[in-house]
Structure 1
Amino acid sequence: MGKRLNYKNALKRASHILADKRLSKSLVTEAKATLTSRAKASEKIAQLKQKIFTLIRLVKAYTKGKYKEISLKSMLYTVGVLIYFITPTDIIPDFIPLSGYLDDASLILWLYNHLGQELQQFQAWESKQEEKEIYD
């Protein structure tokens, strides 16, 4: 991603990514890889691992057209946060001990709280999908 990226720039790119299935798939793949490596390097990110995976699954379901019961604004925020998360040159460089992942973790927690009810509805929908698969 090269240049210094802040959250506002990430939001600008989010609508473009949501509109392009190839870019969305790439974002999901890169977010999973980044999460795996950062969870090993940062206890804070490791603590948020399940929350981040939920956000990744939300983007995947939305861009595949399987789940649309969320506002576009919330999806733009979600994609923006994931873009920020995978970008190595954010506000606090990730190589700085202890504080390097703090901005990533803070932004993820903010988003998770901001989505609130919409995220709970997605998780309920997701649980129903899993139940259907068991009985199909």
Structure 2
Amino acid sequence: MSKKTNYKQAFNRAIKVLNDRRLSSKLVDEAKSTLTSRADRSEKIAKLKGKFQTLIRLVKEYTKGNYRQISKKSMLYTVGVLIYFITPTDVIPDFIPVSGFVDDASLLIWLYNHLGKELKQFTAWESKQEKAH
């Protein structure tokens, strides 16, 4: 299966996940579990753990309806990347030492840079929420 096909499938699934609270909750749980497991096995993923956690929190708050100040397209990208991350049959299988996590890390870095301002707004919103409680 080609890289383009994998991404397309992930984004098609992202549409379904964003429209189904149960599926989005399952994605958040699986992403947390996968992140913990992969961070233990990959220094590259461990270094990016905080960025992954921010994306997971964004999806959680968006699907709960608490945070909607982000474009639907950006959310589709975010959910698509998380789906791709938790899928064990991605372009470079994760059981291949070192390079197995490179595609996951590269995709996360691309997304993080792509979201830029929207992600900064989300983290600022989170900070306000924490201070209010």
TM-score bucket (shorter structure):
over 0.9
Pairwise CA distance, 1:45? 0.3
Total equivalences in the alignment: 130
Amino-acid identity (%): 72
Pairwise CA distance, 1:91? 0.2
Aligned pair 1:68/2:68, yes or no?
A: yes
Pairwise mapping of residues 96-135 of structure 1 onto structure 2 (< 5 A)? Answer: 96-133=96-133
User: Normalized against structure 2, the TM-score is what?
Assistant: 0.96
Aligned pair 1:32/2:55, yes or no?
A: no
Partner of 2:87: 87
Counterpart AA for 1:36: T
Partner of 1:9: 9
| Structure number with higher helix proportion | 2
Pairwise CA distance, 1:69? 0.1
Measured in 2, the distance between the counterparts of 1:25 and 1:111 equals 21
Counterpart AA for 1:110: W
Q: Deviations over 1:24-49 (max 9, x none)?
A: 00000000000000000000000000
Unpaired segments ≥5 residues, structure 1: none
Pairwise CA distance, 1:119? 0.2
Unpaired segments ≥5 residues, structure 2: none
Measured in 2, the distance between the counterparts of 1:44 and 1:10 equals 22
